Structure 1
């Protein structure tokens, strides 16, 4: 397991807690540039569907966050649609991906350079420029 610093470990705990409270398969937490943290689970309503990371970003932005330092995502991979939202606000933010037990399987510091398929956790056929799957 990759060791996280105390602040990133706090995000991991908050993300796991959000996942547990909502009973979903994912959770996320994000830290803004002022040090405030926001945690959220997935939203699965008929009228609204958000990944946990999208929910955490929405909570942060609606609370006045102007930038992000780091985020932790539980239960999904780099293809989480919330990654694009984090990158739109803060291109250099660290994004940590972990499983439901809290084991970190990937850390992305800043924009991803080169072949995205070469990164662990990025599915083959993933188009990093459009943050979507490419179907031919």
Structure 2
């Protein structure tokens, strides 16, 4: 269930900066950033090709998994201010229940926080 956004921690604010910069650099529909359980961060943008379509969150999680990460501490997704059910499922599959997913607009203003 989505809740109005609360004050972000300094670490989660860094994820906003990474997601915003990645989205702006690529011009993609969404930018995302995740922090894994070891404190490593991954940032990515939506991939939309004729033969491949992956959400920004999906790319971030794939990067974390392929780097040997064992789970997630937090997720930020920026774009239209929402997070899809499919992205929440990906976060839950890899990070387990209770991972905060902060969703905001392209400027980085967080509108909601949802727990996976």
* TM-score where L is the length of structure 2: 0.88
Matched, 1:54 2:58: yes
**Partner in structure 2 of residue 86 of structure 1:** 91
Point out the structure with the larger strand share: 2
What number of residue pairs does the alignment pair up? 110
SS of the equivalent of 2:70 reads: coil
Instruction: Return the structure number with greater relative CO, CA threshold 8 A, min gap 6.
Output: 2
Any unmatched runs of 5+ in structure 2? none
2:85, 2:66 → 1: CA distance?
Answer: 20
Unaligned runs of 5+ in 1: 112-136
Aligned mates of 1:23, 1:89 — CA distance in 2: 27
Q: Secondary structure at the match of 1:55?
A: helix
Alignment of 1:1-136 (within 5 A): 2-76=6-80, 77-79=82-84, 81-90=86-95, 91-109=97-115, 111=116
Q: Distance in 2 between matches of 1:64 and 1:6?
A: 25
SS of match in other structure, 2:64: helix
CA apart distance, 1:22:
1.2
Give TM-score scaled by structure 1 length. Answer: 0.75
* 4+ residue runs over 2 A deviation: none
More helix per residue: 1 or 2?
Answer: 2
2:94 and 2:6 map into 1 onto residues whose CA distance is 26
